[in-house]
Amino acid sequence: MADLLRLLLRVAEKAANVARVCRQEAPLFQLLIQEKTGDDKNKKFFQDFKTLADVVIQEMIRHDVGAQFPEMAGFIHGEESNKFENGLGESVTVTVCGTKEETAALLATVLDGDHTAASLLAQAIHQDPATIDANTDGLTVPLSPSELGIWIDPIDATSQYIEGREEVLEEGHLSPSGLHCALVLIGVYLRSTGEPVMGVINQPFNNKDPSGGGWRGKHFWGVSCGSINVCSVSRPKDELGTGLSVVLSCSEKQVVKEALTSVCGPDKLMYASGAGYKILCVIQGLADVYVLSEGSTFKWDSCAPHALLQALGGGVVDLTKCLQSSSEAQDHQNDLTYHQPSVECKGAERWANHGGLVAYRDSSQLLNIISTLKDKL
């Protein structure tokens, strides 16, 4: 299934292009940043376009993967629904059509007849991405498409994507907010066990071309199945004696912040936007762990980066389950899984990571976190 990995890298790059185009092309950008003021239709329209960019990206990924791997077609899920209502209250199902022109015509119906915006979007969807140099030669993945399912978050950290603040990233440093927090996440899991086995992360706004050529992205990938554990990011060297570094959501509970201060080194309690970006920080060694005590992330947020962390020898666990379990054994029974919904819930909540999570590289650091938070939550 190395073919699947190469395909996911390509579609994620296409997705990143769509995300960039929506900010670069004035007619699309205007729609993206429209204020939530004015009459009702305007209010609705603002919401519509943000979601439309997401839906279009997700459907494009679903279309391309389903075309090459028909066995997977019914198992490609994502954050968004492709049933869409336009400003006139009409329901439209957004799909990627056979040609650019057909896709543009369909998108125009959602965009209330804005043909310029529709054509620009369709152009980006149907354009072949630049070749990606991913060094996957010689990689064999002993899986078959009929065993696999996919979770897509077309754009994670949408609020940062819309706000659009540009940061210059400093090597080795976590930058808490800005465009670079927006990520395209595609995760692959085993249908039988729900274990993540492959992940692709594309960061569409990683750095700006100094000669004025616009934003350039960066991609990351990992495969973790059986004895095969390969990641495009090498495992960061552990710095001894510097204290644990933890990244949290700004909205994390005070009791968690206080408890973790006691195990963190000075200035090692950090905050960042985007669930995907925070796990990426752990993957890159910009933080040792990401702790989240609320059920505010979903399967599509964690599946892809979880696969990369697992390939590096770490993982993502359910925090509540860890706090409740008596054994300290590393038997993976508390790992997040991706195949079963919470049947008692409705809508997106069916796929929430209800128990919160901890993302880690080193299991001794995970144990440290769990023992610190025990009896505090």
Give the angle 157-178-186 at the CA atoms, nearest 5°. Answer: 35
Torsional sign, CA 162, 167, 172, 175: negative
Stretch that binds ligand 2IP, among 7-15, 31-39, 56-64, 151-159 (CB under 6 A): 151-159
Q: Are 29 and 122 in contact (CB under 8 A)?
A: no
Q: Which stretch binds Ca ion (CB under 5 A): 76-84, 94-102, 115-123, 341-349?
A: 76-84
Size of the site for Ca ion (CB under 5 A): 5
Residue 202 binding ligand 2IP, by CB under 6 A: no
Asked whether position 251 contacts ligand 2IP by CB under 6 A, the answer is yes
Strand 148-156 to 183-190 pairing? antiparallel
Q: Which of 103, 158, 297, 372 is catalytic?
A: 158
Active-site choice (48, 54, 80, 147): 54
Least distance from Ca ion to the Cβ atom of residue 300, Å:
6
Answer yes or no whether residue 301 interacts with ligand 2IP by CB under 6 A: yes
Return the residue of 25, 64, 156, 195 that touches ligand 2IP, per CB under 6 A.
Answer: 156
Residue 153 falls in the annotated catalytic set? yes
| Shortest Å distance, C-beta 15 to Ca ion | 11
Contact of residue 249 among Ca ion, ligand 2IP, none (CB under 5-8 Å per partner type): ligand 2IP
Other CB atoms within a 10 A radius of the CB of residue 332 amount to 11
Give CA 86 to chain center in angstroms: 26
Provide the token pair at 211: 């000669």
Is 64 catalytic? The answer is no
Which one of residues 203, 273, 302, 372 is an interface residue with ligand 2IP (CB under 6 A)? 273
The first and second tokens of residue 301, run together, are 């947020």
Interface of this chain with Ca ion, residues 181 to 240, rule: CB under 5 A: none
Catalytic residue (one of 114, 195, 301, 318): 301
DSSP notation for 245-268: EEEE-TT--HHHHHHHHTTEEEEE
Residue nearest to ligand 2IP (CB): 249
Token pair recorded at residue 357: 């999570």
* Catalytic residue status for 156: yes
How many residues interact with ligand 2IP (rule CB under 6 A)?
A: 13
Q: Where are the alpha helices (DSSP H) in the chain?
A: 2-24, 26-33, 40-68, 100-110, 115-126, 158-163, 254-261, 275-284, 299-311, 319-324, 363-373
| CA–CA gap between residue 371 and residue 325 (Å, rounded) | 11
Q: Which of 25, 48, 59, 153 lies at the binding interface for Ca ion (CB under 5 A)?
A: 153
Interacting residue ranges for ligand 2IP, rule: CB under 6 A: 153, 156-158, 249, 251, 273-275, 296-298, 301
